[in-house]
Structure 1
Amino acid sequence: MLNRFAFLRPLLLIGALAVAGLVMITAAAFLYIDPQLPKAEALRDVELQTPLRIYSKDGQLIGEFGEKRRTPISIQEVPELAIKAFLAAEDDRFFQHRGVDPAGLLRAALQLITSGDIKSGGSTITMQVAKNYFLTRDKTFTRKFTEIFLAIEIERRLSKGDILELYLNKIFLGHHAYGIEAAAYVYYGKPIKELNLAQIAMIAGLPKAPSAYNPIANPSRARVRRNWILGRMLELDYIDDQQYQAALHEPITARAHGAKLDLNAAYVAEMIRIEMLRRYGQSAYEEGFTVITSIDSKLQKTAQQAVLDGVTEYDLRHGYRGPEQQWPLPETLDEESVIDFRSRLNAIGPIGPWLPALIISNTEKTATALLAGGEHITLDWEHSFEGMDRYISEDRVSYKAKNTEELVKPGDVVRLRRHPSANEQWRLSQLPEVQGALISLNADNGAILSLVGGYDYEKSSFNRATQAARQPGSNFKPFIYTAGLDNGFTPASIINDAPIVFEDEKLGGTWRPDNDSGTFSGPMRLRKALYLSRNLVSIRLLQQLGIRTAIDYVGRFGFDSSQLPLDLSLALGSHSLSMIDIVTGYATFANGGYKVKPWVMDRIIDRNGNTLYRANPAQVCDHCDALANNEQEFVPAHLEMESLDDLLNSEEEELLSLNQAPRILSEQTTFLIDSMLQDVVRKGTGRKALALNRSDAAGKTGTTNGPTDAWFSGYSSGVVTSTWAGFDDNKKLGRREYGGSVALPIWIDYMKVALEGRTERHLPQPQGVVSVKIDPDNGKLASPGQSNAIFEYFKTENAPEAQSRSGNYPGQESQESPYDIF
């Protein structure tokens, strides 16, 4: 009997020797590696790379940037299904082993013996923690043994829950996402606790190969991996068959999402990101910097909505342009087709309030649409279609549609938007092609209160408030008029509003400027010419003032004089300027004549709560009593510090000396131009702003040739705001569109909120300015008892009594002119 098993003895001996050899090798490796092992205890105090975070002045998160998107969460916050999904995918024996799984190691050892290399590590979750926190990714024998011994040490020092928490917060899951919470936001835009089983399984499939199984880049391969994990969860009794089947048929809903933010101020966040990168290089993304901005969250939300509503209203006036795409529909819309269409709709994604939808059927008065979330919704004629025109051109729309078949048909990929005035019913809509922008400053120190560089950053990241150079049109006229007021002209100076022809090579030969209305009114006062925005008066004013004199003068507002045209088109704002330059110029009118510079970055704070930078803007000290009363400042809760008082006290000692803004306009000139700009609102092209019921509201419209650009810049109570609308490719807005019809409504909607609780602020009539009764027809001193006489303000030296004793004075045109006037 014994002889029958004698042949096994050599095999047993070889096996015993192999085991002994393995033990000796392991012991030797341990003795060699143990002194070099990092301390597992260090994991308790690990400092993860954290991104740059940007906040409004009242603590709303507006931006987060970093190569590593990370939002650490505790193990108690991780859903049970998420834990089970990762265990099924990576280490189903996690709660049984002590850091090392022998079966997995044996597989790795056999690969090493047969190939001389380790192709699959057989790593447990604990071993992955050891590798991710302490080791390199090199596939070498020494590194593998170090990983094994360190995993054993980690299991001795930390609980299973601690280890799992470290793993789930550190693991790389593609698209710069580190940790499951960050991945949930990156792929689905919500926290891990709100994901369904299919979405959780999708994320659990990423550690093996984040790029290969990425649901955005490779949705088909990601689906296969997800379904395999769902099968493993079913096999391990983590889920039942009903859950498995339901998740198996879920479409791919992943798409790229930005960080979960409290406030939509993406254009501001990008401005800060660029500045931080300039200051700190790549470390700006990793060192946990916090930037506090000057942005007011309430005003930013208002600005965003005002721009959105403004471009939407313009778009509706010009008709429906048709579907974005047309998809062929199968004869029968089965479950597989619906899943495919949902995935394609998710890939398109929403833009702002506009959701993509697929029209799957329609009748004369209804249509059925499929949304990306899987809902089939019915669109009825009254709420979703009635009153819509079809776009023909920027100047023409079709007759009103009579039924749904004139607007949509099956297979159309359209945009739907909730209609606020119709009980939130869905309404056929479209992405506006026109763009809008807004920038608002505190006129006394240049702080940017809100900034919108386009109606949706995801659609276009180009910042039209700071990067675009557009023609301001009549929005530039107040600067020319101010130059006139400082050079002998008065609000009552008479200039002829009549046709004129210029022969000027700089203007391309013959130039026949015109008024927007195409009509002419003859001689008129400068005040009236400004509030009616008469182009010919502005040109003649510049002609009499002198182009070089005007250019030198407007340079004091911050405009680059070298870029301004040396011809009379300067009077009409034919040159290109940025919105931020325009609004900064208007801030001088609003603050009493001082020059301020726009700024948005208030403080930079490091991860330990130390202030590295603090803004010290130039202040207008006529209105800075509030500076003596320091308000409590926002300090992010995640910063480590002894107390808020400690931080405030340390900053109190380092407060910078007051930086006083320089005066660039005299009190007298500022008072006069402010008075004239108020009349633009009271009587002129800005009359819609009377809706604000503010007697201190002042501003100016602007419309360029075409028209292609629509502007309104204005101010009240120390808040100065510019709004703009137009097409990026300079298409025409339409012959009935002006600054007053497109840009001014945006300004009004914003300023209604911006001025809440603010008292009106009028410039006091300064010494050196007098009020005189004049004849409105000729601007001269009124006759005693004249019935149509009006009051006008003058600088003392330019009052009519003094002017009447001389011949021509500024504003009275000479009969001789170097140009043909007719």
Structure 2
Amino acid sequence: MTAKRSGFPWPSRRAIGRSFILAGCAALAAAVLLAAYLFLYVRPRLPELDVITDYQPKIPLRVYTADNVLIGEFGEEHRDFVPIAQVPEMMKKALLAIEDGRFYEHHGIDFVRAGGAVLSNLRHGFGHGGGSTITMQVARNFFLTREKVASRKLNEIMLALKIEAALSKEQILELYMNQMYLGQRSFGFASAAQTYFGKPLSELSIAEMAMLAGLPQNPSRHNPISNPKKAHARQQLVLKRMRELDYISEGQYQQALAQPLHINTRGKQGFDTHAEYVAELARQAVYAQFKEDSYTKGISVYTTILKADQDAAYASTRRNVIAYDQRHGYRGPETFIDMPLEPEQRDDAIDAALQKRPDSDGLIAAVVTDVASGKVVADTGDGDAKAITGEGLRFAAPALSAKASAGIKLRPGAVIRISQDAKGNWAITQVPLVAAAFVSLDADTGAYHAMVGGFDYNLQKFNHVTQAWRQPGSAMKPFVYSAALEKGFSPATLINDVPLEMQAGGKVWAPQNDDFKFDGPITMRYALAQSKNVASVRILRALGVSYTHDFLEKFGFDPARQPSNLTMALGTGSVTPVQMAGAYALFANGGHQVEPYLIDRIVDAKGTVLMQTKPPAPNDDKTLALDPRNAFVMDSMLREVARTGTGAAATKKLGRSDIAGKTGTTSDAVDGWFAGYGGGIVAVAWMGYDEPKSLGGREFGSTLAMPIWIDYMRTALSTRPQVTRAVPAGLSQVDGEWLYDEFIDMNGVKTLDLDVETPTDPAAVPETVPVEAN
């Protein structure tokens, strides 16, 4: 029987009650079936928890200086594992406020949030409501996919219960905060702090912590680099929740809201010290031993590099390469692009052009948008137009001339480089095309102190320190003079510096001094100091090419790369900068061969030493390759070069008496060198083009490489005492010059008549026309 109300038949109370009972029974039956399914089918098939109970995070390979400064990191995942006890309390609160406010109250499932999620799913369809706790997210992240299907959610719930039974709340939170992906290849909050803010977790402000706490929900949508507006909105929501939960005071809340955030827009973990070539060499060495484990097992490599030395080497190389480039004029824009009239299309064209040209440490790519009288406006892609005026236009003045060719003339659409000075003024510049290298070693052990393999690693990966085989020019002469000492020559030996022409087998060769001047009879000391080519060739001819060629092996040179003719004295063979540094180390350390080495030790994630380099013991007879007397005399001659000769600027600018070295300039100034030492450090600087060509008619090793060397040494020697050398046994002074005792007869210095034309082996005369070196 039904009651009638307003003409509409309503069900009776008994019928309604019956319906509720039936619905309740159905729900109970469903719950029982679901529970049976979960415990009888799902639970037995859950994975074991070994992966989290014995958690081994994928920690990348890290490379450090000797003084513990991070200079490189390699691995698909940027990750810093931080024990939960070291995570700032406010960072935990920021995360829990937005992700799981009742984390410490529930047992893996927050039924309050779950109820809200169910209602949201009923209204908007499955997958719309989340309700996942931190424990459930750990389960998903370690064991499941992010696929939004019911079966995955059921597995997630059961795994969360299993995890809660196996681990403490702090252990679960530790897993979460170290494992979650937070964008930009960063895993875990410590890594994200470095990626987005360049800071450790302990130094983050409340505002910065709130920004990171907002990332787990959707690292792409809330990424402060790619989506700053959405990231800011998410951060404000986190701060609001923190205030509602009374995690922060009203004052802290308002201060955090107002704080401007300085995001590292490149999204890379920054390194204070530029040592990219060092880090790559270390990576190669570790990979050769540990293969793919290198990038995931938390291996750390401690190099012999010193931060202060590396910083000085990098800055000096960059500064002097740019100085050389500026001396030789503006080459014009890197390219030109069409500039659409429609603003949005124009912005897209500018962005596309700039994406192809990464910045080079202050040399910023920009597109010219306007050229007016005395002013150039450029767009660097950050939305802020850069106006270049006055002195900032001086370097590019030829490109602003009405007579400038189309290839260099500045106009809208020109892609250029600009830089900013300390006062904030912009100037037009360019990326140098010339290459350079610098390396310094501990003279006694061979340990690297600094290495700069090129102008910019991001523009060119080729390491000129270890891979560039170049002609050393006159930087090779000291090794010929060293060979001469073993044959009875002394610094006082007279060499006739007069024109020399040799004929053999129909070949004619007449070497020249670089200034085309001849001084007549000169001492061997003076010949080296002034880098006299003809005198050096005369010495080599007197010694014999074969003998001298064999002698060079004492210094670690590859004999196959050295010529077997008289141009050997002028440095026409091939050497690398690090090979040259190792060779000069023998003069610096008393005659001991050193093997340059970069890695001090390799340790695993637990700190266990996997490899340790044992440097050679000082004054070990096993490493002695050169008579200590020879090294002492050559040191005195190389100090003369740096005091009165072609390297005189080195001693003058550094103000030390223990500076020794030699310039090197090859024919047509294709390569410029300076190799030398002081204070127990041996260093080599080089400059040249990768495709060999002249560096300029007015350029020499003293103008190209020596300024790099001096600028570096000014820093490297600042804390090192001057080196004094003890006179080795078997060496005496005769008329003020050093001579081996066995070459002293009753008449004093043994006479060597170099004016006599010694026969010349036809094979020793080069086929080339005159070769100049300095």
TM-score range, shorter chain: 0.7 to 0.9
Deviations 1:201-252 (A, max 9, x none): 9997898797xx8999xx9xx76xx87888999999979xxxxxx9xxx9x9
Q: CA RMSD in A?
A: 5.0
Describe the SS at the equivalent of 1:699. strand
Distance 1:232 1:674, change over 3 A: closer
**Alpha-carbon deviation of 1:83?**
8.3
Task: Give the counterpart letter for 1:751 in structure 2.
Answer: M
Deviations 1:559-608 (A, max 9, x none): 22233322222222212211111100100000111112111211222222
From 74, 79, 83, give the equivalent of 1:70. 79
Residue number in structure 2 paired with 1:757 = 719
| Cα separation, partners in 2 of 1:78 and 1:144, compared to 1, 3 Å | same
Alpha-carbon shift at residue 450 of structure 1 (Å): 1.1
2:376 & 2:205 partners in 1: Cα distance? 31
Unaligned runs of 5+ in 2: 4-8, 101-105, 242-256
Between the two proteins, the alignment pairs up a number of residues equal to 727
- Contact 1:346 / 1:372 at 8 angstroms: preserved in 2? no
2:625 is paired with a residue of what secondary structure? coil
- SS of alignment partner, residue 440 of structure 1: strand
In structure 2, give the amino acid aligned to 1:299.
D
- Whether 2:328 is the aligned partner of 1:318: answer yes
Please tell me whether residue 445 in structure 1 is matched to residue 445 in structure 2. yes
- 1:569 lines up with 2:547 in the alignment: no
SS for the counterpart of 2:479 is: helix
Q: Which residue matches 2:499?
A: 498
**Cα pair distance change 1:390/1:581, threshold 3 Å:** farther
1:431 matched to 2:374: no
Aligned equivalents of 2:512 and 2:222: distance in 1? 59
Residue by residue over 1:270-308, the C-alpha shift from the partner in whole angstroms, topping out at 9 and shown as x without a partner, is: 111111112222222222222222111111111111111
Structure 1 SS opposite 2:580: helix
CA positional deviation for 1:314: 0.4
Asked whether the equivalents of residues 298 and 604 of structure 2 are also in contact (C-alpha less than 8 Å), the reply is: yes
Classify 1:95/1:427 alpha carbon distance in 2 versus 1 (closer, same or farther; 3 Å). Answer: farther
Aligned-residue identity in percent? 34
**What is the 5 A alignment of 1:688-727?**
688-689=649-650, 690-727=652-689
* 1:675 counterpart residue number: 636
Distance (whole Å) between structure 1 residues aligned to residue 134 and residue 189 of structure 2: 14
Does structure 1 residue 796 correspond to structure 2 residue 758? no
Partner of 1:416: 418
CA distance in structure 2 between the partners assigned to 1:207 and 1:710 by the alignment? 57
| Residue number in structure 2 paired with 1:287 | 297
1:342 Cα deviation from its structure 2 partner: 6.2
Distance 1:514 1:124 in 2: 83
Alignment of 1:224-263 (within 5 A): 255=266, 257=268, 259-263=269-273
Q: 1:524 maps to which residue?
A: 522
Deviations 1:380-405 (A, max 9, x none): 303x12366659xxxxxx99999xx9
SS in 2 for 1:470: coil
| 1:488 maps to amino acid | G
SS at the partner of 1:515?
coil
Q: In structure 1, how many angstroms separate the alpha carbons of the residues matched to 2:153 and 2:520?
A: 92
1:170 to 165, 179, 182: 179
Give the whole-Å Cα distance in 2 for the aligned partners of 1:303 and 1:349.
Answer: 22
| CA apart distance, 1:674 | 1.2
Q: Kindly provide the amino acid, as one letter, of the partner of residue 537 in structure 2.
A: I
2:324 and 2:756 map into 1 onto residues whose CA distance is 42
- Provide the residue aligned with 1:304 in structure 2: 314
Q: Distance between the aligned counterparts of 2:459 and 2:223, measured in 1?
A: 22
For residues 188 and 561 of structure 2, the distance between their equivalents in structure 1, rounded to whole angstroms, comes to 51
Letter in 2 for 1:52: L
Q: Determine helix, strand or coil for the equivalent of 1:794.
A: strand
Spell out, residue by residue over 1:24-66, the C-alpha distance to the aligned partner (whole angstroms, 9 max, x if none): 2433322445466578899688442222222212221112222
Q: Distance in 1 between matches of 2:372 and 2:600?
A: 57
The alpha carbon displacement at 1:198 in A equals 13
In structure 1, which of residues 532, 535, 538 is the aligned counterpart of residue 533 of structure 2? Answer: 535
TM-score when normalising by structure 1? 0.75
1:542 Cα deviation after fit? 2.1
The residue identity in structure 2 corresponding to 1:260 is G
TM-score (norm 2): 0.79
Is contact 1:715-1:721 (8 Å) kept? yes
Question: Secondary structure of the equivalent of 1:20?
Answer: helix
CA-CA distance at 1:772 after TM superposition: 2.8
Counterpart code for 2:307? S
- Measure the CA separation in 1 of the matches of 2:603 and 2:502: 60
| Structure 1 residue corresponding to 2:280, chosen from 242, 256, 270 | 270
Other-structure match for 2:253: none
Alpha-carbon distance, 1:618 to partner:
0.9
Query: 2:192·2:212 contact (CA, 8 Å) conserved in 1?
Result: no
2:57 touches 2:81 (CA, 8 Å); kept in 1? Answer: no
How far apart in 2 are the matches of 1:180 and 1:465? Answer: 38
Q: Is the 8 A contact 2:178 2:189 kept in 1?
A: yes
Compute the displacement of 1:746 (Å): 0.4
Superposed, which structure 2 residues align to 1:582-597 within 5 Å?
Answer: 582-597=580-595
Distance in 1 between residues matched to 2:750 and 2:636, nearest whole Å: 27
User: Which residue, out of 33, 56, 69, partners 2:65?
Assistant: 56
Distance 1:28 1:425, change over 3 A: same
**What are the Cα deviations for residues 146-196 of structure 1, in whole angstroms up to 9, with x where unaligned?**
322122455688899986774454233566432355356557867899899
Given residue 798 of structure 1, which amino acid in structure 2 is its aligned partner? Answer: F
Contact 1:477 1:538 in 2 (8 A): yes
Tell me which amino acid in the other structure corresponds to 2:300. T
How far apart, in 2, do the equivalents of 1:485 and 1:672 lie?
8
Instruction: Name the amino acid aligned to 2:411.
Output: K
Q: CA deviation at 1:319?
A: 1.0
Q: Give CA-to-partner distance per residue, 1:773-803, whole Å, 9 cap, x none.
A: 3xxxxxxxxxxxxxxxxx4322233348648
Contact 2:490 2:739 in 1 (8 A): yes
- Give the counterpart letter for 1:757 in structure 2: T
